[in-house]
Amino acid sequence: MAGNNRWNWLLGIGFVIAILALASCYPKRVGPVGMSGDRLAWTQMSIDQKKKHMEDVVLPRAAQVFRTWRPHHYSRIDCTLCHGPDPVAVNFRMPGAHLPRLSGELLLGPEFAKHPDTTRLKLDSLVPAMSEALGLKSFSIITRRGFGCYSCHLGPGGPMFRN
Ligand code: HEC
Ligand code: HEC
């Protein structure tokens, strides 16, 4: 009995360490080298560094995803696709009011019903590509946090899931 308990205890500690290790991987250092000599994470960048990271890394990745979907419609995309017609006026603030509001339902039932192909594309390609480009963890249904649909879209009553 005692041996069994110790074993459970060790497993428990191992589990906690594994979770901490996973959690500490984010945000990833995907940006330019900062004052400390290490690369900066998205959350540590200045607004100018964020703009440059968007232009050099995020925009090309997003363009690739949108183009595989509708090559003609998205042959040229720019900052306004996500940030709206006047990004400077809203300080590049996301989620943006010019994008359609989503239902707020965790399993995206209404989105899959009304827009199955966009929803698939976003879930399978856009969210993973953007999370990677930003070095952020993808949205998890369990923790209800991370980069996902509501990093760009508002919900019925405003921003959702700490975005
Ligand atoms: C595919 C969509 C998309 C495109 C295109 C895009 N952005 Fe972004 N941008 C985002 C998202 C999403 C965020 C918020 C990321 C987060 O969760 O912190 C963001 C955040 C930003 C921020 C930080 C705002 C803040 O409050 O900290 C700046 C600055 C920015 N973008 C500039 C640009 C510029 C400049 C361009 C064009 C070169 C651009 N973005 C193109 C999606 C996009
Ligand atoms: C990086 C930003 C970003 C993320 C993340 C994102 N979207 Fe979008 N979404 C957009 C943009 C930009 C448009 C508008 C495209 C256009 O105007 O051509 C859009 C449009 C839509 C539309 C409207 C389609 C239509 O034809 O009216 C739906 C539905 C949608 N998104 C669902 C989702 C879902 C569901 C997720 C998460 C799985 C998601 N989006 C994640 C940027 C994003």
pLDDT tens by residue, 16-37: 666 655 555 899 999 999 888 9
User: What pTM, to 2 d.p., does this model score?
Assistant: 0.89
Report the C-alpha gap between 64 and 67 in whole angstroms.
5
- Give the other-Cβ count within 10 Å of 28's Cβ: 15
Pocket of ligand 1 (CB under 6 A): 47, 50-51, 54-55, 58-59, 62, 77-79, 81-83, 91-94, 134, 147, 151-152
Residue nearest to atom 13 of ligand 2 (CA): 99
Length of the chain: 163
Question: Ligand 2 center to residue 46 CA distance, Å?
Answer: 26
**What's the pLDDT tens digit per position in 124-154?**
999 999 999 999 999 999 999 999 999 999 9
Query: Rounded to whole angstroms, how far apart are CA atoms 123 and 127?
Result: 6
Q: How far is CA 146 from CA 1, 111, 132, in A?
A: 41, 19, 12
